[in-house]
Amino acid sequence: MSAGRFEPPDQVPAGFREIWRDFGTVYAANGLIGFIFAASGPVAIILSVGSRGGLSEAELASWLFGSFFVNGILSILFCWRWRQPLVFFWTIPGTVLVGQALEHLRFTEVVGAFLLTGLLMIALAFTGWIKRLMAAVPMPIVMGMVAGVFLRFGLDLVHAMHQSPAIAAPMVLAFIAASVWPALGRRAPPVIAALVVGAIAVALAGSPGTDLTSAFELARPVFQRPEWSAAAAFELVVPLAITVLIVQNGQGFAVLEPAGHRAPVNAVTLGCGVWSCITALIGTVSTCLTGPTNALISSSGERHRHYTAGIFVGLLSLAFGALAPGFTQLLLATPPAFIAVLAGLAMLRVLQTAFQISFRERFSLGALIAFLVTVANQPIAGIGAPFWGLVFGFAGAWLLERGDFKSQAGGVGR
């Protein structure tokens, strides 16, 4: 448990004047785009999951406060301390897992699982086993479960096209246009283009408005008293930890490496664990190192100045989180199709990646079993389908794909 397990920064932290000198138009633009991406489709996923799970508007606002304000503090600290683009938000696959769990668990039980997940990540950070764990876990089986969880968002997108074409069709067309024409996509990333066009479509449709008296109301986090539940712990803790440490953090490390950044794996794991315990108490899903936003803020400019874009994202997150009640009320007042399409489009590439990883090469049968069990969504012994998807997927692969385990062990050994 020595402090030596945690990677020290290569440089001393930057002072305020140095940060200001390193900052510039390129890093402001990259930071703004990265933040808008996080505040569009991923927020729609939270609202979709939370509304379906019966959470109140105050609880949803508290969830957003933790996702942005509290995680914004961690982002600023890591970007400043390690002088790297290390932005933290929340696990999107974990959020969708929670949506399924809320169909048969109380939110206080889910919060208890959030807290246990944070404690598990802290313990793993002190062991220093994270890198070995990331190399040993069969990613296709994990992503088979993730694909099964995400499938609902793709189906909701299709249903919205049928039920509300006046809103859904323009959003999908805008997404396609920004994806097809690179010049347009650079000015307005596809999900953001869909958001803008969708807002215009909602306004033209004359949908009922909302009283925005709380638009500038400061957030009032709702404290959640954790309830300890064996069913919630079995269903959520291990899958949540996997989505953070393997799926989300792994993606974050992968996008930073080509840009020349070596993220401190153990330190990031510890930060995710500690912050997950903090955000759990206000009803926010586990903290993770974000992939897409870190990819955006490290996509251009000088490598040693990328950290300033991360600090800028953190500052924008503080502002968004502080005003979470107004943003929550505004988005909840929009037609359900708007949220469904925005969430579905945000998940489209992620769902595609999940399928590609699941069925590309090794462990494809185990991945298929995990996918089918998760999609069936049948709890066993009060424990939800995603957990059993992993269990049966691993069991099926162990019995029927033994060669793939031997091949992976050889790869890890090398």
Q: What is the pLDDT of residues 203-218, one digit of tens each?
A: 887 655 555 555 578 8
Between the alpha carbon of residue 265 and those of residues 165, 233, 260, the distances in Å are 45, 25, 15
DSSP character for 288?
E
Q: Which domain holds residue 146?
A: 14-208+215-349
Q: Is the pLDDT of residue 147 over 80?
A: yes
What's residue 172's pLDDT?
94
Residue with more model confidence, 272 or 408: 272
Length of the chain: 414
* Mean pLDDT calculated for residue range 158-179: 92
Q: Count up the domains in the chain and report the number.
A: 1
In a domain, residue 196? The reply is: yes
- Is 79 a domain residue? yes
Which of 87-96, 119-128, 276-285, 377-386: highest mean pLDDT? 276-285
In degrees rounded to 5, what are phi and psi of residue 15? -80, 170
Supply φ then ψ for residue 380, to 5 degrees: -125, 125
pLDDT exceeds 80 at position 13: yes
Which residues, at least 6 apart from 340, have a Cβ–Cβ distance to it below 8 Å? 48, 153, 156, 157, 159, 160, 168
Give residue 241's pLDDT. 92
Contacts 24+ apart (CB under 8 A), 213-216: 214/325, 214/326, 214/329, 215/323, 215/326, 215/329, 215/330, 216/323, 216/326
Of 144, 147, 154, the closest CA to residue 345 belongs to: 154
Quickly state the pLDDT bin for 405 (edges 50, 70, 90).
confident
Task: Quickly state the pLDDT bin for 413 (edges 50, 70, 90).
Answer: very low
**What's the rounded Cα separation, in Å, for the pair 362 and 400?**
12
Answer whether residue 368 shows pLDDT above 80.
yes
Classify residue 363: in a domain, yes or no: no
- Return the pLDDT at 211: 54
Is-contact 297 88, C-beta < 8 A? no
Percentage of residues of the chain with pLDDT beyond 70: 93
369 has pLDDT over 90:
yes
Question: Is 202 a domain residue?
Answer: yes
Rounded Cα distance, 103 and 48, in Å = 13
Question: What does residue 56 show for φ and ψ, rounded to 5 degrees?
Answer: -80, 165
* pLDDT given for residue 409 in this prediction: 64
Per-residue pLDDT at 215 = 59
Assess whether pLDDT exceeds 60 at residue 133: yes
DSSP, residue by residue, 59-103 = HHHHHHHIIIIIHHHHHHHHHHHH-S---EEE-HHHHHHHHHHTT
- Residue 146 resides in a domain: yes
Q: Is residue 135 part of a domain?
A: yes
Q: What is the pLDDT of residues 71-123, one digit of tens each?
A: 999 999 999 999 999 999 999 888 988 988 998 899 999 999 999 999 999 99
Average pLDDT, the chain: 86
372 domain residue, yes or no: no
pTM: 0.77
Q: State whether the Cα torsion 202-345-31-280 is positive or negative.
A: positive
Cβ neighbours of residue 239 under 8 Å, at least 6 residues apart? 94, 97, 145, 386, 387, 390
The larger pLDDT score, comparing residue 8 to residue 110, is at 110
Is 396 a member of any domain? no
What gap in Å lies between CA 293 and CA 38, rounded to an integer? Answer: 7
Q: Helix, strand, or coil here: 289? A: strand
CA dihedral 263, 251, 257, 123 (to 10 degrees): 20
